[in-house]
Structure 1
Amino acid sequence: MSSSLLSSLERLRTGLAHPPVEIVWSSHSAWPLPPPNQPSNNTEKIQISILDASYNPPTLGHFALAAAPAPRSLRAPAKVSDHVEDSGSYDAKLLLLSVRNADKKLKPSDATYVQRVEMMIEIGSGNPSSHGIAVAIIDEPTFVGKSRVLREFLEERIRRQQALRDLPDTRAFQLTFILGYDTLERLFATKYYDSSEEKMYQALHGFFAPTSDNSGGDDSRVVWGRRSASSYPHAASTSTSTSVEVSSSDSSDVREGVKTYRGSDLDVNKGSQLVGSVGLGEHKWKEMISERVGKYIIEHGLYK
């Protein structure tokens, strides 16, 4: 696995992959479409969730965000009205790691990108609902850029999958980025848009705007979650029903959305960063990660 991951990283860094994204693991070869033996759903669009994080290391906080159902307000009408049981699940999920972080450079004590991806695969393959999960790496530091690159990549991938299965080339898709509150703050920070509010508004309008009009938008959405202290999952638990407070935004009225967001009282929970922090005892970090990831950390001597 490590050699193939290194090859994928090298292709991204040398510009050989276009667009600069590669899927390094998926639960089945047809992802993000359903497996060949499973019928397609009746929704108008394939709903794909994107959990983009540094995964240093992947924690139960990441797992809770990835497992959270789509907010009811964002679910396709067919999923609410046509199905007897509405689970709120996305049609496909993507765990995404950027090899070019806009803020952070690797420190000597950090896990390497290969190690992070291998731990992400531990999360994906150990998920009870892993039939629709993939792990990917991307060479793009900003969310607006990731949305654009992923749309280009997935349009071609879905087209190929449809051709292989002799399906009509009619399947649209929509990306929903799942963010923690600290990550959400970066989406609306002007420093990622040349310190220009006007450029930020323009970029975010393209991010949120529908693909169906003439604006050339990505039709992407954002969902952000905040875990309550009482609901933090224990490492021994395999349940995916972790309590996650979820909010969402798919409004094209970006100026008002940014204004509302900036007036909020943020209660940022940095649990996903605790394991890599200096000075945490063994029992503390073991409570923050799954058994499979914990075993990987011990076997590879990470975070010492």
Structure 2
Amino acid sequence: MINTPASIIPPGFASHALQLLQRVQHGISPVELVYAAHERWPFRPGHAVHTRPSLHISVLDASFNPPTLAHLALANSFPPLSHQRSLATSAPAESYDARMLLLSVRNADKVLKPGDATFVQRLEMMRLLSHDMRSIETSESSGVSFPQMSDNVAVAIIDEPTFVGKSTVLLHFLKKRLAAVVESSSSPNSTSINRDASYLFPSPKLTFLLGSDTLIRLFSPRYYPSEQVMVQMLRTFLSPDKEDCRVVCAYRNVSADKTFQETQDTIMEVACEFMTSDRVVFIDIGAEEQNYSSSEVRAKVAARDGEWKQLVTDVIANFIIRGDIYSGSAREE
């Protein structure tokens, strides 16, 4: 039996999401969690919080207009082997400790257009996507099944157009959240961690998941004040002794994307420094999935081409149909 959107999204979610969205848009809060799998996220449910030096959190930052099977494949991906060796994550089966689906109310390239899904509709679809993230994950290297860390997922909103800006804001937010969770989890009979100078709060380690087409916004000088400033900011963003973020990039079929082709040489020249140090790693999300795009879904819906349903999950297809989204003229991605 296929779950319907109404059976997955609880009553009041849309109004709750709208309130948090307005807080971010009005500058009251730089980032808000619209949904979290449990109150102690990003810690794993049932795990002690005082013995964790760090938490490895994947961040899938996208427009989600709408989420496709490519988004799902990337959200469910494992850390690359080169990252696993250095992450020392405590999660089983080479997984991330926690996962985040992130929507920015400002985008370096895209603006909200007539016919697009609203931000609240996108947040609802992100909630549906979190439900679709598989509950059991099988390690491709070992063939052994383990509890899936995708169950430890959150949906968030941020007001930052660039990845380097998002990392700074998210790290600040997550450090405060981790400290608050540790404080609230402390037993009244235990020694206060505020009086224990040797105690260090767990440190968030972020891996941004993106498609190769999105590399334009990360490594192209036109998104920064200057090329020199870009390199400095990227080194802060990706340096292990600074923000210590990583980038996992999915191969995408962008051969027809003229803008990407024109900037590819420049992008790869800048990215080379970080690729050789394994701070930026490419992965394969599947021969079919790498061809899927949100713009194709929107165009097919507008053209009344039913094949669009094969590009998204069933619950998201039902949500689009029930909400009559994208039924107007097709829009550019």
Structure 2 length-normalised TM: 0.72
Is 2:54–2:203's contact at 8 Å kept on the other side of the alignment? Answer: yes
Q: Which residue of 1 is the match for residue 4 of structure 2?
A: none
Once the two structures are TM-superposed, the CA of residue 44 in structure 1 deviates from its matched residue by: 4.4
Q: Give yes or no for the alignment of 1:72 onto 2:81.
A: yes
Once the two structures are TM-superposed, the CA of residue 192 in structure 1 deviates from its matched residue by: 0.9
Q: Give yes or no for the alignment of 1:141 onto 2:141.
A: no
CA offsets 1:13-66 (integer angstroms, 9 cap, x no match): 11111xx0000001111110112x234697742100000000000111000000
**Hey, what's the Cα distance between the residues in 1 that align with 2:230 and 2:14?**
38
Q: Write out aligned runs for 1:17-56 (5 A).
A: 17=29, 20-35=30-45, 37-39=46-48, 44-56=53-65
Once the two structures are TM-superposed, the CA of residue 114 in structure 1 deviates from its matched residue by: 0.2
Mark the runs of 5 or more structure 1 residues left unpaired by the alignment: 212-216, 229-252
Q: Which residue of 1 is the match for residue 189 of structure 2?
A: none
Once the two structures are TM-superposed, the CA of residue 126 in structure 1 deviates from its matched residue by: 3.1
**Hey, what's the Cα distance between the residues in 1 that align with 2:182 and 2:81?**
28
- Quick one: which amino acid aligns to residue 145 of structure 1? G
**Hey, what's the Cα distance between the residues in 2 that align with 1:259 and 1:107?**
39
CA offsets 1:119-161 (integer angstroms, 9 cap, x no match): 0000112322442100000000000000000000000000000
Q: Secondary structure of the equivalent of 1:28?
A: coil
Q: Which residue of 1 is the match for residue 152 of structure 2?
A: 132
Once the two structures are TM-superposed, the CA of residue 2 in structure 1 deviates from its matched residue by: 1.4
Q: Give yes or no for the alignment of 1:59 onto 2:82.
A: no
Q: Give yes or no for the alignment of 1:177 onto 2:208.
A: yes
**Hey, what's the Cα distance between the residues in 2 that align with 1:259 and 1:79?**
20
Is 1:159–1:169's contact at 8 Å kept on the other side of the alignment? Answer: no
Is 2:211–2:252's contact at 8 Å kept on the other side of the alignment? Answer: no
Q: Secondary structure of the equivalent of 1:202?
A: helix
Q: Which residue of 2 is the match for residue 117 of structure 1?
A: 123
Greater mean deviation of Cα atoms: 59-68 or 267-276: 267-276
Q: Write out aligned runs for 1:180-219 (5 A).
A: 180-194=211-225, 196-211=226-241, 217-219=242-244
Q: Secondary structure of the equivalent of 2:298?
A: coil
- Quick one: which amino acid aligns to residue 153 of structure 2? I
Q: Which residue of 1 is the match for residue 273 of structure 2?
A: 256
**Hey, what's the Cα distance between the residues in 2 that align with 1:163 and 1:302?**
43
Mark the runs of 5 or more structure 2 residues left unpaired by the alignment: 1-12, 136-147, 187-192, 194-198, 254-269, 328-333
Distance 1:16 1:276, change over 3 A: same
Q: Secondary structure of the equivalent of 2:27?
A: coil
Q: Which residue of 1 is the match for residue 293 of structure 2?
A: 271
Higher-helix-fraction structure:
2
Q: Secondary structure of the equivalent of 2:128?
A: helix
**Hey, what's the Cα distance between the residues in 1 that align with 2:222 and 2:292?**
21
Give the number of aligned pairs.
264
**Hey, what's the Cα distance between the residues in 1 that align with 2:115 and 2:249?**
29
Distance 1:181 1:78, change over 3 A: closer
- Quick one: which amino acid aligns to residue 298 of structure 2? G
Q: Give yes or no for the alignment of 1:163 onto 2:155.
A: no
Is 1:28–1:131's contact at 8 Å kept on the other side of the alignment? Answer: no
Q: Out of 221, 244, 247, which is 2:246 matched to?
A: 221
Q: Write out aligned runs for 1:271-290 (5 A).
A: 271-277=293-299, 280-290=303-313
Q: Which residue of 2 is the match for residue 245 of structure 1?
A: none
CA offsets 1:185-240 (integer angstroms, 9 cap, x no match): 2210111102x2101101101101234xxxxx211110011268xxxxxxxxxxxx
Is 2:162–2:217's contact at 8 Å kept on the other side of the alignment? Answer: no
Q: Write out aligned runs for 1:85-96 (5 A).
A: 87-96=93-102
Q: What percent of counterpart residues are identical?
A: 42
CA-atom RMSD in angstroms: 2.9
**Hey, what's the Cα distance between the residues in 1 that align with 2:40 and 2:303?**
41
